[in-house]
Structure 1
Amino acid sequence: MDWLGDNQWAAWLALAAALGVAEMFSLDLILIMLAVGAMAGMLTGLLGGALILQVLVAAGASVAMLALVRPNIVKRLHSGPDLRLGHGKLVGQRGVVTERITSLEPGRIRLAGEIWSAAPYDEELTIAPGETVEVFEIRGATAYVHPVPTLES
């Protein structure tokens, strides 16, 4: 028993290893945070801290990891880039009018390197060639657009 009193760090290391292995089966990122706390307790033991100090440091580090680190990691793991495919990825992009656009006569725009038929999103508008437009919606093969406001010099 005297060996354990002199080598408390080894018990902390064993606990950290066991928690690390258990985390591989649970994959909920709780046990690994507790393992980091156990490693902090091990470091305190290696530096000669009393057992009560080791326990307090391990508990504090575990709570800090669970409260501060785990939520950010979980958020990053569960979020990903927005995957927009097909025509949906063109909504919100800007294009340039190549043929006049009116509500009665659809025109053409250059959008993402391609020529699209286009109609005004607001039926009262007429959009001249050369104007920059933003795609609000795509129905079939027609982009419904609205002119991008510009600052007049």
Structure 2
Amino acid sequence: MCAGAAVVAAGSAALGGPVALQLAVFAGSALMLLLLARPAARRHLERAQPVKIGIGALIGAHATVLRKVDANGGLVKLRGEEWSARPYDPLQVLEVGQDVAVMEIRGATAIVWGEP
């Protein structure tokens, strides 16, 4: 906001205006920009949805079982990559080809849940 006001005040200085006028132009321009432009900029910035990155982006994603997943381990394809996996319920056994949902990530292991 102040940068825009400084440009306007520089214009009054270029036209030979006295320092008092330059200060008044700067103050008025800064106030107008603050009152008019700032609310529009805030609306624009607050509208954006936060982007999930890293492990947070994988929670809730769907994967396909490549190697049987049981309490001893297994393998799933998650977003084009192979991940070691374990079931969310240690008693659950997930078969090859089954679609599963990622519940959490522990280290390099996806903890998955599949509907029986």
Band of TM-score, shorter chain: 0.5 to 0.7
3-state DSSP of counterpart to 1:81 = coil
Q: Does 1:88 align with 2:97?
A: no
Q: Does 1:117 align with 2:84?
A: yes
Partner of 1:32: 36
Higher strand share: 2
Amino acid at match of 1:32: L
Q: CA deviation at 1:73?
A: 7.0
3-state DSSP of counterpart to 2:70 = coil
Q: For 1:85-129, what per-residue CA distance to the aligned partner results, in whole angstroms no more than 9, with x for missing partners?
A: 2222111110100010111x1000000100000000111211001
Partner of 2:23: none
Q: CA deviation at 1:21?
A: 5.6
RCO higher in structure (CA 8 A, sep ≥6): 2
- What are the within-5 Å matches in structure 2 for residues 33-112 of structure 1? 74-103=42-71, 105-112=72-79
Which consecutive unaligned segments of at least 5 residues does structure 1 have?
1-18, 34-69
Higher helix share: 1
Aligned CA-pair RMSD: 2.6
> Percent identity, aligned pairs only?
33
Q: CA deviation at 1:82?
A: 1.9
Check the 8 A contact 1:120/1:144 in 2, yes or no.
Answer: yes
Query: Which of residues 94, 98, 101 in structure 2 aligns to 1:131?
Result: 98
Aligned length: 89
Q: Does 1:22 align with 2:26?
A: no
Q: CA deviation at 1:80?
A: 2.6
TM-score computed with the length of structure 2 as normaliser: 0.64
TM-score computed with the length of structure 1 as normaliser: 0.50
